[in-house]
Chain A
């Protein structure tokens, strides 16, 4: 009789602890439902999108030495255009990106300007190439050109994804549940920088066409 009572008490105690643990776990999940994890989730998504942007810019930078070499073989006299491409490339790749590039407006702008300068130099080079029919029809150049086009398009897609990811993240930081969580738990998070429209208009090849034509 006594042993039955103790075993029942033990069972009761176990169930109590289990229920308490379950309650704690349940509360954690309910908090998750209120968006406690949204800020880190969106932050990681934005950082991943940024890595993709860097990745594609790097891919473009890697293509350039080959491209310059190929163009030199046919159009060595276009020295200044080629030099400007090489210089813009080294500026864009040599700059060590600071760790806080995403939240530091100056660093972000410097990065953006360097890449825009490289885009401009590249499109000037492609305009110059139009004057050299043998170069334009060389297999090597055609392959490089298609890769460069593909890379530029990938850059555009990566930038678009980044813009969207940052929009989500920044919105989460500013709107209500996220705003509370930020002040409560994620006080060190900062809104991220996004690509600005001005830089994109600078990058459009049309401007460069006019400049080289005139």
Chain B
């Protein structure tokens, strides 16, 4: 490798540079490994249960803020509800979603609602501020499932009150669209009740809650990409085949990380990754 006539000093310099290249490469690998591990271990409980749950009985997909599988809501009312819920989320970051299904298929309403809530990940991730209004048409059952973060505002008793005073009477009269529209209005009213807390929540999720992880993620990712590129340039210069192999390995690592974290941001409306511990109330008509 060392050409004849090159001074000892130049060789030393070359060796030093090679070592430095190795150090850079190792740091790049480390960075990729950290991202990779965060991607796998950090999300493993959710990643493990969510697809499993989806496979079990084929939960409906979260196509929008109103998922009207049982076809209980007319188009005009549905649009009105969607607009109201979107405006409310813009104001508070709370995600309220209405779902109607044809049948529970024998599963207890509470289990199904919790499974669906977690599958959709309603509410912002750190805040868990989601609410799911679930109507099972053929079972004649309705439930308001409340995320961890809103249990203190939309208490079980208040959820029960909304169900018994608004939803059940309307559903008994066969006026599903009206009942659901009024029910969501009341849920929004209850959630808006504590204005100070509502604004604080919106602020948290507008600045601190959401953008920081994104910024850190993007910065880290760019860091890795550029270290990788730098290494790709350095490797041929310092001429090590193992180095190149490593780079390729690094490349694989980066692609796996990229795909696993990209799945969380799809177009249109999607859950923020919140969870529910079974708060809320159920009723039947």
In the assembled complex, which residues on chain A have CB atoms less than 8 Å from the CB atom of B33? 26, 29-30, 32-33
Contact B156 A52 (CB under 8 A): no
Total A-B residue pairs with C-beta atoms closer than 8 Å? 101
Which residue of A is nearest B40, CB measured?
A33
Which residue of B is nearest A158, CB measured?
B277
- Interface status of B37 (Cβ within 8 A of chain A): yes
Contact A19 B157 (CB under 8 A): no
In the assembled complex, which residues on chain B have CB atoms less than 8 Å from the CB atom of A165? 45
In the assembled complex, which residues on chain B have CB atoms less than 8 Å from the CB atom of A150? 156, 159, 278-281
Main secondary structure on B side of the interface with A:
helix
A10-18, A77-85, A127-135 - the one binding chain B: A10-18
Contact A143 B157 (CB under 8 A): yes
- Interface status of B48 (Cβ within 8 A of chain A): yes
A-B pairs with beta carbons under 8 Å apart, 28 shown: A5-B12, A12-B16, A15-B23, A16-B19, A18-B19, A19-B20, A19-B26, A22-B22, A22-B26, A22-B27, A26-B33, A29-B30, A32-B37, A33-B33, A45-B45, A146-B156, A146-B281, A147-B155, A149-B281, A150-B159, A153-B110, A156-B111, A156-B278, A157-B278, A158-B278, A164-B45, A164-B49, A165-B45
Residues of chain A at the chain B interface (Cβ within 8 Å): 4-5, 8-9, 11-12, 15-16, 18-19, 22-23, 25-26, 29-30, 32-33, 37-38, 41, 45, 52, 56, 142-143, 146-147, 149-151, 153-154, 156-158, 164-165, 168
Residues of chain B at the chain A interface (Cβ within 8 Å): 9, 12-13, 15-16, 19-20, 22-23, 26-27, 29-30, 33-34, 36-37, 41, 45, 48-49, 110-111, 114, 155-157, 159-161, 276-282
